[in-house]
Amino acid sequence: MSTFQERPLSAPNADADLATIQDLLGHAQITTTQRYCWVSNLKVQRDYYKAIEVVLQRTQSNGEQSR
């Protein structure tokens, strides 16, 4: 019988990011978590664009504050 950590995780539509899964599984390195997770290209793309939006919002709000 395998443990939860030994089972591959499939998260194509999950909203949890790898860092959250890393914390839940107690992995010291993100590469360990990546080995256990199969993340779809769509999820990677969504997370990338979400991160870009956050960066742009922070950049714009920082620029407005310095005026």
Q: Residue 67: is its pLDDT beyond 70? A: no
Structure pTM? Answer: 0.42
Nearest CA to 51 out of 17, 13, 24 is that of 17
Distance between CA atoms of residues 12 and 10, nearest Å: 6
In the chain, domain spans: 8-65
Answer with the residue of higher pLDDT: 10 or 46: 46
pLDDT in the model for residue 56:
93
Span 23-49, pLDDT tens digits: 988 999 988 888 877 766 777 788 889
Tokens of 18: 């790898």
For residue 60, what are the CA distances in angstroms to 4, 46, 48, 51, 52?
42, 21, 18, 14, 12
